[in-house]
Structure 1
Amino acid sequence: MSTPPAPPARPSPGRSVRWLLGKLGGGLFVLWAVATAIFFGIRLIPGDPAEAIMGGPGSQASAEALAAARTQYGLDQPLIMQYLGQLGRLVTGDLGTSYSLKSPVLEVLGELVPPTLTLAVLALLLAWALALLLAVLSTRSGAVGAAIASGMEIVAAAVPHFWLASVLILLFSTMLGWLPPVSTATAAGLVLPVLTLALPLAGFLGQVMRDTMAEAQRSAFALSAKARGESETGVLLRHSLRHAALPGIALSGWAFGSLLSGAVVVESIFARPGLGRSLLSAVTARDIPLVTGVALLSAAAYVLIMAVSDVVERLADPRIQAP
């Protein structure tokens, strides 16, 4: 009499703790690297930060006022001392006060996060839906359908946001008059910005999911399910879609970061308030605290999404060893 196979061993608590510590350490390293890059990078921009504090070059601030601003904000100290001082403040959660808006950065971020988060989440959901649809069409519509879907994926993935936004505005606003050319507080004002962000991402995700879905349909478990009498639709819904979603889940952290970077262009084109548009204005105005706050928040969101997608991928695919 054969002995039944032993159940898979559960991960030890020590391994889970090491996994969590590794994720935490990696996240802290990313935040430190972003803060360091922003600190030194923004100082390479020509101009005096003290002038930005006083309202920009057009403020015609006196030399005495500029000197007082440098002293108040520690800009008269050596660069390394400014860097260490900023790291110390960031560790305590003090992001400082925006030079251009004259408000605490935390308060400014509290106003900017909701519109950008809404835009990014809706774009990610739409991109996922379109990618899965393209993957299904490319694998269920024969050679011609697969070629058309594949071409649509390649074109969508290659289109830059600024060009796509211009075409969508010309088509749906200028020619058809269906949607507003700028973002408004209504649902209609969200359609074009969401489409502009979602379509290129859907093209990229669709290419990855299509290959995985085609591989899943040729796999042993799909053939076994068909042999048991399960229909093509049943195999697709119960097996192929789940396997096609795995690479998308793994890329969700990268996708969310891509959406945040794309929001800089999209929010500027559609005059939509948010992190992206404010980041562009803050860089132009050399608003160091606000630039640092937006960059750190974006990096923290990226790290969090990467960790969540890692956990979801492990839950969705039993073949991946749990932490």
Structure 2
Amino acid sequence: MRDYLLHRTGTGLLVLWAAFTLSFVLLQVLPGDAVLIKFQNPDLGLSPQQIAEMRQSYGADSPLWRQYVHTLGAMLKGDFGYSVQAGVPVSEQLKSNLPGTLLLALFGFVLATALAFTLASLARLPALRPLRSLLQSAPALFISIPTFWLGIALIQIFSFQLRWIPVINPSPWQGMILPVVTVAIPISAPLAQILLRSIDQVVTQPFVVVARAKGASETRVLWRHVLRNAMLPVLTIAGLLLGELIAGALITETVFGLGGLGQLTQQAVNNQDVAVLQAVVMISALGFVLINLLVDLLMPLFDPRLQHVTGGSL
């Protein structure tokens, strides 16, 4: 178990380093300069010498290799640097914006999981068997809808036409309903597709035939025997969908005007605030690594045969 955890942790650290390096290189080749964008404004009345001193204070005039080493070392200590545009540490901006994004992502994932299991369960019920093909095609429809378009469509239908959910001065919970649905629908699609295929494979296994022969109802067979064994592929795809979930949350926050990493990222892109963008990338990569490590640790709980891979029971 210890060797397995060390191996998975080492792999995660390698992924984080690769994400940092790739994002650093891509952000450095972007045209423009955040320091010049802010301080070269004629209204500020700064001289070229003062602007050069500003660039020096932010380390913008240092060689790229030195900036890389300095930024990497600072991030290892939990220091994400300073935002050029806001003039405050990036960690303070993350502290105020990250909780809202995490809350939206969490609720979105819960709703997506509920939608996926509902679709898969309905497709297996004998009473709804004629609708099976329609239910199986629903995930493909969900995943083909762009997140920004879905958010705008939900606002148009439920806020402007039906007037069920206000978009102007809503309560905190009312303001979360449509964003959560917007995030959940595209994520529920691949989860439902994988779950449906996995269920179709599991129902042909001998232990399912034995359960039916003992007189168990179709619903009992589905919930007690089929779903637990069909969970492994779903857990795997759930971990891989984290990046899409975070990306969808960022886009959704922009569409609905929510405070969070989405708004922070939009402002950083407009102002080419490299420190903020680098921090957002690393937060996303860290979340991806942690959720996939959690998935790897949960898999033996659903299939004891995998416990020998981790070196024993969890």
TM-score of the pair, normalised by structure 2: 0.92
Is the CA contact (8 Å cut-off) linking 2:191 and 2:238 kept in structure 1? no
1:231 maps to what in 2?
217
2:55 maps to what in 1?
70
Taking the TM superposition and a 5 Å limit, the aligned residue runs for 1:208-247 are 208-247=194-233
Q: C-alpha separation between the residues in 1 aligned to 2:168 and 2:66?
A: 44
Output the amino acid matched with 1:40.
V
Unaligned runs of 5+ in 1: 1-15
Taking the TM superposition and a 5 Å limit, the aligned residue runs for 1:99-138 are 99-138=84-123
2:277 maps to what in 1?
291
Is the CA contact (8 Å cut-off) linking 2:151 and 2:182 kept in structure 1? yes
CA-CA distance at 1:185 after TM superposition:
4.7
| CA gap 1:43/1:60 in 2 versus in 1, 3 angstroms | farther
Is the CA contact (8 Å cut-off) linking 1:95 and 1:289 kept in structure 2? yes
Is the CA contact (8 Å cut-off) linking 1:127 and 1:202 kept in structure 2? yes
Q: C-alpha separation between the residues in 1 aligned to 2:124 and 2:258?
A: 38
- 2:36 paired with 1:26: no
Helix, strand or coil for the counterpart of 1:103? coil
1:82 maps to what in 2?
67
Is the CA contact (8 Å cut-off) linking 1:260 and 1:276 kept in structure 2? no
Taking the TM superposition and a 5 Å limit, the aligned residue runs for 1:166-181 are 166-181=152-167
Q: C-alpha separation between the residues in 1 aligned to 2:299 and 2:138?
A: 27
Q: C-alpha separation between the residues in 2 aligned to 1:60 and 1:263?
A: 40
Output the amino acid matched with 1:228.
K
What's the CA shift string for 1:248-268, capped at 9, x where partnerless?
211222222211111221000
Helix, strand or coil for the counterpart of 2:306? coil
Output the amino acid matched with 1:196.
T
Q: C-alpha separation between the residues in 2 aligned to 1:20 and 1:177?
A: 51
Unaligned runs of 5+ in 2: none
| CA gap 1:182/1:22 in 2 versus in 1, 3 angstroms | farther
CA-CA distance at 1:17 after TM superposition:
2.3
1:154 maps to what in 2?
140
| CA gap 1:26/1:217 in 2 versus in 1, 3 angstroms | same
Helix, strand or coil for the counterpart of 2:88? coil
Aligned residues: 308
What's the CA shift string for 1:107-153, capped at 9, x where partnerless?
21111111101100101010001101111112225553111101211
2:303 maps to what in 1?
317
Is the CA contact (8 Å cut-off) linking 1:184 and 1:272 kept in structure 2? no
What's the CA shift string for 1:276-302, capped at 9, x where partnerless?
221121122111221111211111111
Is the CA contact (8 Å cut-off) linking 1:182 and 1:272 kept in structure 2? no
Q: What CA RMSD, in Å, does the superposition of the two structures yield over aligned residues?
A: 1.9
Find the partner of 1:302 among 263, 266, 288. Answer: 288
What's the CA shift string for 1:215-270, capped at 9, x where partnerless?
22221111111112222121111111212332221122222221111122100000
